[in-house]
Structure formats: structure tokens, C-alpha cells
């Protein structure tokens, strides 16, 4: 029998807060533990084995802290670690607990968003190289053409708070031009990285009118709500006190300062270690 606990939300760093805030506003009644592995972020350029190892450590930690359900809010972790964790690790370590990712819920809605049936994915190098988006989208909508573009500088622009500077325009324009020249029929660009919604104003500045940038947070939140409605046994072991605790593997002060960009509020942060 599982003991009730908070829902875990994991990201390599701050970016997952864009997903958490959508979840909190759609289903505020639950308790959440947010964990950012800031001391080892970014994950985007790390190898498959390392992202898997770090993500599994985070999942085991959140399970130990009492979470029964965890959302991997990080696209890179969802792309490189989720499948192995779901198929090999969960049955071994906690068969009744669950870990969900962000790529499948995005793939599920994309068919109803694109009209041209040409979609672009913007993500970290790891997410794009994994081909996880085309694989998941083609399972549900085989007719959709999917082109990826790695935007390795974009996370750094956000992490270093340079997202409003003129320098940011150069990288944003460059990656948008690249992907739209690879396929001019694209009408929907998935922001396939948790940091990218912070760049949305600048992204929209350089997009033609017929192309829409799609942040995923809202869809992840809706998918989680739907999951809990379809799994009452899991819903029953998710505590409902409306509280969120924030954990980082780096400095709590640094985390709470940076988190103000993502959440527009002050938060208390606790430090933990992963191994």
C-alpha cells in the first residue's frame, strides 16, 4: 500500500518551473515537490548514459521523499531517460509508483494544432538528436512532417538572464531562420525545452504571421489532470494541501533569485544532494 505524498516535478534546473506554474494554476489543490538538479545542469549536451543516470537518481530521491507520481518536466530527461526508467527501473524499485514525461502529451495534441501538417521542434541538442518527438508524433499522426532544430544557446540566454538583451536576438533569429528554411511549410513550432517560454516575446518578434510558437506547459498540466482523473488509485495517494516545496542541488539562494523569473514570486528553497 502506498502512503500518500506530494507530486514530484523534476527538471535539470529552473526551466521546469514554467511547467510547474501551469500545473499549479490548473490543479492547485495538490501538493508538489519541485526538484532542480542545478548543480549538474544543463543536461542538454550530456550523453544518453549520463542523463539517464542523473534522472534515475532524481526519481529515486523523490520516491524516497514520499512522491508516488513524478513528472519529468525536462524534455532532455524525457527524451533520454523516461523509457528506460518506465520499462526497467520502476518495475524493479517501485512497481506501484509512476513517472510521466512531457513529450507524449505534446505529441498527443499536435495533430489538432497544425493545419499544414508540417511541424518544427525547437529543443536542446540531446532532445533533437534523440528523435523522440518525430517518433512519438508519428505513432499518433504518421502524416505529419517533423523537422528539428537544436538551439544550444537558448538555455544559456535564460540561465544567464540575457534573454532580454540584444545579443539574444542574434541566436533566436538564427535558429528560427534555420528551421523555417529547412521546411517553409511549417505552421507550428513546438518549444520543446522548458526554458524556451521565457523567450516567447523575442521568438514571436521573428516569426512570420502564419507560424505559431507552442509552449507545452499548458498541455502537460492538462494531461496530468486527465491522468489523475483516469487513475483514481493514484489520485487517492496524491496529497491535497495546495502546498509546494522547492529543492535544488545547488545554492538555495541562487535558485530562489532565478526562480523569480519563472514564477514571478518569492519562494523558500531547500538544498538536497543526489547520488
- Which position among 18, 24, 55, 75 is part of the footprint of ligand DGL (CB under 6 A)? 75
Q: What are phi and psi of 168, to 5 degrees?
A: -65, -35
- Is there a contact between 249 and 8 (Cβ–Cβ < 8 Å)? no
Per CB under 6 A, which of residues 11..50 are in contact with ligand DGL?
A: 11-13, 15, 41-44
Nearer residue to ligand DGL within complex by CB, 188 or 194 = 194
Range 141-160, binding ligand DGL (CB under 6 A): 155
> Is there binding between residue 127 and ligand DGL (CB under 6 A)?
yes
Indicate the residue among 210 and 251 with the shorter CB distance to ligand DGL: 251
**Closest of 195, 191, 189 to residue 208, by C-alpha:** 189
Nearer to ligand DGL, 11 or 149 (CB): 11
Q: 151 with 76: CB under 8 angstroms? A: no
CB of 74 to ligand DGL, least distance (A): 4
Quick check: bond before 225 cis, omega within 30?
no
For residue 38, the minimal CB distance to ligand DGL (Å) is 9
Name the phi and psi angles at 28, rounded to 5: -75, -10
For residue 135, give the H/E element and its range: helix 132-140
* DSSP at 40: G
Give min distance, CB of 89 to ligand DGL, in A: 20
Count, residues near ligand DGL per rule CB under 6 A: 17
Q: Shortest approach of ligand DGL to residue 78 CB, angstroms?
A: 8
- Cα angle 30, 213, 51; round to 5: 60
**Edge-to-edge strands, sheet with 212-215:** 145-150, 118-123, 188-191, 212-215
Residue 76 or 239 having the CB closest to ligand DGL:
76
Q: Which residues are catalytic?
A: 74, 193
Measured from the Cβ of residue 161, the count of other Cβ atoms closer than 10 Å reads 12
| Cα 215 to Cα 16: distance, rounded to the nearest angstrom | 12
**Site mask, ligand DGL, residues 45-74, x = CB under 6 A?**
-----------------------------x
Q: Which C-beta is closer to ligand DGL: that of 86 or that of 125?
A: 125
What is the contact mask toward ligand DGL in residues 208 to 247, using x (rule: CB under 6 A)? ----------------------------------------
Stretch that binds ligand DGL, among 8-16, 28-36, 198-206, 260-268 (CB under 6 A): 8-16
Which residue lies nearer to ligand DGL by CB, 74 or 221?
Answer: 74
Q: How are strands ordered across the β-sheet holding 98-100?
A: 98-100, 69-72, 7-11, 32-36, 244-248, 269-271
Would you give the end-to-end CA distance of the chain in angstroms? 27
Would you tell me which residues interact with ligand DGL (CB under 6 A)? 11-13, 15, 41-44, 74-76, 124, 127, 155, 193-195
Amino acid at each position: 500500500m502506498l502512503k500518500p505524498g506530494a507530486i514530484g516535478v523534476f527538471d535539470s534546473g529552473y526551466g521546469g518551473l514554467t511547467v510547474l506554474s501551469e500545473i499549479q494554476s490548473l490543479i492547485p489543490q495538490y501538493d508538489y515537490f519541485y526538484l532542480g538538479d542545478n548543480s549538474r545542469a544543463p543536461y542538454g549536451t550530456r550523453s544518453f548514459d549520463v542523463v539517464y543516470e542523473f534522472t534515475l537518481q532524481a526519481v529515486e530521491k523523490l520516491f524516497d521523499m514520499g512522491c508516488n507520481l513524478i513528472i519529468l518536466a525536462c524534455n532532455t530527461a524525457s527524451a533520454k531517460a523516461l523509457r528506460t526508467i518506465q520499462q526497467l527501473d520502476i518495475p524493479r524499485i517501485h512497481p506501484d509508483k509512476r513517472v510521466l514525461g512531457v513529450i507524449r502529451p505534446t505529441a498527443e495534441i499536435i495533430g489538432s494544432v497544425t493545419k499544414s501538417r508540417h511541424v518544427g521542434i525547437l529543443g536542446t541538442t540531446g532532445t533533437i538528436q534523440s528523435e523522440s518527438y518525430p517518433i512519438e508524433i508519428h505513432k499518433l499522426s504518421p502524416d505529419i512532417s517533423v523537422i528539428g532544430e537544436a538551439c544550444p544557446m537558448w538555455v544559456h540566454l535564460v540561465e544567464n538572464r540575457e534573454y532580454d538583451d540584444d545579443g539574444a536576438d542574434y541566436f533566436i533569429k538564427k535558429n528560427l531562420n534555420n528551421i523555417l528554411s529547412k521546411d517553409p511549410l511549417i505552421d507550428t513550432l513546438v518549444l520543446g525545452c522548458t526554458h524556451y517560454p521565457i523567450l516567447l516575446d523575442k521568438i514571436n518578434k521573428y516569426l512570420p504571421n502564419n507560424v505559431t510558437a507552442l509552449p507545452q506547459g499548458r498541455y502537460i498540466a492538462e494531461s496530468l489532470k486527465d491522468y489523475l482523473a483516469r487513475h483514481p488509485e493514484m489520485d487517492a495517494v496524491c496529497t491535497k494541501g495546495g502546498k509546494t516545496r522547492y529543492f535544488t542541488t545547488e545554492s538555495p539562494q541562487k535558485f530562489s533569485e532565478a526562480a523569480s523569473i519563472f514564477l514571478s514570486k518569492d519562494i523558500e528553497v531547500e538544498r538536497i544532494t543526489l547520488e
